Amino acid sequence: MCPPSASVGMAAKDRSGEIAAEACAEAVRRVANVLIENVEKVIVGKREAVELVAVALLTEGHVLIEDVPGVGKTLLAKAIARSLDGSFRRIQFTPDLLPSDVTGINTYNRKTEAFQFLAGPIMANIVLADEINRATPRTQASLLEAMEERQVTTDGETRPLPRPFLVLATQNPIEQEGTFPLPEAQRDRFLLTVTPGYPSAEDEERIVLRFERNNPADSLSSVMSAAELTETISLCRHIRVSDAVRTYLVALVRATRGHPDIRLGASPRATQNLYRAVQALAAMRGRAFVLPDDVKALAVPVLAHRLVAGARSRLGGRTAADVLTDLMETVPVPVE
Percent of the chain with pLDDT over 70: 94
> How confident is the model at residue 215, as a pLDDT?
87
pLDDT bracket for residue 218 (50, 70, 90): confident
Q: Which fold has domain 1-238?
A: Rossmann fold (3.40.50)
- Would you say 280 and 228 are in contact if contact means Cβ atoms under 8 Å apart? no
Tell me which of 84-88, 241-245, 270-274 is least confident. Answer: 84-88
Do the bridges between strand 62-66 and strand 190-194 make them parallel or antiparallel, or are there none, so unpaired?
parallel
Secondary structure of residue 43 in the 3-state scheme? coil
Does position 257 have pLDDT exceeding 60, yes or no?
Answer: yes
Q: Where in the chain is the domain with CATH 3.40.50.300?
A: 1-238
CA angle 170, 216, 61 (to 5 degrees): 35
Q: How far is CA 94 from the centre of its chain?
A: 22
Does position 324 have pLDDT exceeding 70, yes or no?
Answer: yes
Does position 323 have pLDDT exceeding 70, yes or no?
Answer: yes
3-44 per-position pLDDT tens digit: 444 444 445 554 444 568 899 999 999 999 999 999 999 999
Do the bridges between strand 104-109 and strand 114-119 make them parallel or antiparallel, or are there none, so unpaired?
antiparallel
HSE at residue 110, side-chain half, CA atoms within 13 A, is 0
Q: Distance between CA 119 and CA 127 in Å, rounded?
A: 13
> How confident is the model at residue 292, as a pLDDT?
96
> How confident is the model at residue 86, as a pLDDT?
86
> How confident is the model at residue 8, as a pLDDT?
46
Tell me which of 10-14, 50-54, 99-103, 198-202 is least confident. Answer: 10-14
Q: What is the mean pLDDT of residues 123-141?
A: 92
pLDDT bracket for residue 114 (50, 70, 90): confident
Q: Taken in order 150, 153, 154, 160, is the CA torsion positive or negative?
A: positive
Q: What is the mean pLDDT of residues 124-141?
A: 92
CATH number of 240-336: 1.10.8.80
Q: Where in the chain is the domain with CATH 1.10.8.80?
A: 240-336
Residues, the chain: 336
Q: What is the mean pLDDT of residues 314-319?
A: 81
Global pTM reads: 0.88
- Would you say 211 and 72 are in contact if contact means Cβ atoms under 8 Å apart? no
- Would you say 330 and 247 are in contact if contact means Cβ atoms under 8 Å apart? no
Summary mean pLDDT of the chain? 88
277-300 per-position pLDDT tens digit: 999 999 999 999 999 999 999 999
Q: Could you tell me which residues come within 8 angstroms of residue 234 by beta carbon, excluding any fewer than 6 positions away?
A: none
